[in-house]
Amino acid sequence: MGHKEQKIGNKRQVDSVAHTYVPAMNKAGEIMQIKTMLTMGALGVLLFSAGAAHCHELDVMALTPSEMKWSAQGGLALPGLEQTTLVGDPSKPGPYTIRLKFPAGFKVAPHTHPDSREVTVLSGTWYTGYGDKAEAGNLKELPAGSFYTEPANVAHYVEVREPTVIQVSGTGPSSRKFVGPEVSR
C-alpha cells in the first residue's frame, strides 16, 4: 500500500488506508506509559494475592446431621437461634458456610451484611423481604429447597412461622448491622 508522510510541527503524520495518525512519544508520555504499566502490574499482583488467599484446601469432611455440633453461640447467631459452622469462620477473612436453625415465630428486623451471601432453605418455610422497613406484604415465601441471595449492604428482613433451617455461604469477615426504624431484634 502506498502512503504519504507529512511533517506537521514536531509530529509525523502518515496517511494510508492501513495506518492512522500516531503522535510521536515524548518523554512525559514515556514516563506515563511506564507508570501505567507498573500500576497495572502491581494491581495484577494484588488481585492474584487476594484470590490466592481465598483459595485454600479444605480438609476431607463428611457429616451427617446428627454429627453437626449446634450451638446458641456463633458469629451470626441471635438469641433463640442455633448455629453450626461447616466451613471457615464468618468472623474471619475467607469463605464460610454455616447453618442456622430458627424457631417458629422468629423475626429479624431489617439489617445488612458487609459480604454477599447465598442462602438455601433446607427445611421449613422462610419469609424474606428487601428494604429498610419490614413490610409483611413484601415478604416472599420460600419453602424448603428454595435459594436466594443477600447482596452486600442490601437491607433485608426475615420472618419465620415454623421451625426452619437455612444454609448460608459467603466470604468473611461477616457481621450484621440493623437499619431502619425498627429497634427490636
- Domains of the chain: which residue ranges? 4-54, 65-178
Model confidence, pTM: 0.67
Write the burial class of residue 55 (CB in 10 Å: 0-12 exposed, 13-18 middle, 19+ buried): exposed
Q: Report angle CA 110, 81, 154 to the nearest 5 degrees.
A: 25
CB 110 within 8 A of CB 176: no
Note the pLDDT tens digit of each residue in 42-78.
555 444 444 444 455 668 999 999 999 999 866 566 7
In the predicted model, residues of the chain with pLDDT beneath 70 are 1-26, 28-30, 32-58, 73-77, 182-185
CA dist., res. 123 & res. 166, Å (int)? 7
% of the chain residues with pLDDT over 70: 64
If one looks up domain 65-178 in CATH, what number appears? 2.60.120.10
Query: How many other CB atoms are found less than 10 A from the CB of residue 184?
Result: 7
